[in-house]
């Protein structure tokens, strides 16, 4: 009988595979949440966006960045 058959599934390659699947699932869920955020914010008109304190140019940075890293359209101008 082989020694591989007696090893538990959670050892070695099993742990690596399980961690990879979990990481991929988390990345997929994060991606879907960002896309949904962008979709929902894009559906709002400019007046509604102004009411919540953002502009249309900030939607992507809000979805993909942290609130402290919001990039406004006038921030991208370099002198």
Q: What is the tens place of the pLDDT at every residue in 17-52?
A: 999 999 999 999 999 999 999 999 999 999 999 999
Angle at alpha carbon of residue 64, lines to 61 and 65, rounded to 5°: 70
pLDDT per position as a tens digit, 6-17: 555 557 898 999
- pLDDT, one tens digit per residue, over 61-74 is 888 886 566 656 55
How far is Cα 2 from Cα 34, in angstroms, rounded to an integer?
47
Q: What residues have CB less than 8 Å from 52, skipping those under 6 apart?
A: 44
Q: Which of 75, 77, 36, 35 is CA-nearest to residue 55?
A: 75
Instruction: Give the N- to C-terminal CA distance of the chain in Å, as an integer.
Output: 73
């Amino acid at each position: 009988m082989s020694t591989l058959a007696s090893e538990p599934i959670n050892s070695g390659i099993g742990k690596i595979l399980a961690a990879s699947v979990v990481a991929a699932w988390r990345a997929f869920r994060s991606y879907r949440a960002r896309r949904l955020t962008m979709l929902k914010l894009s559906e709002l008109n400019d007046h509604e966006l102004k009411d919540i304190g953002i502009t249309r140019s900030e939607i992507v940075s809000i979805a993909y960045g942290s609130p402290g890293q919001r990039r406004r359209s006038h921030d991208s101008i370099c002198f």
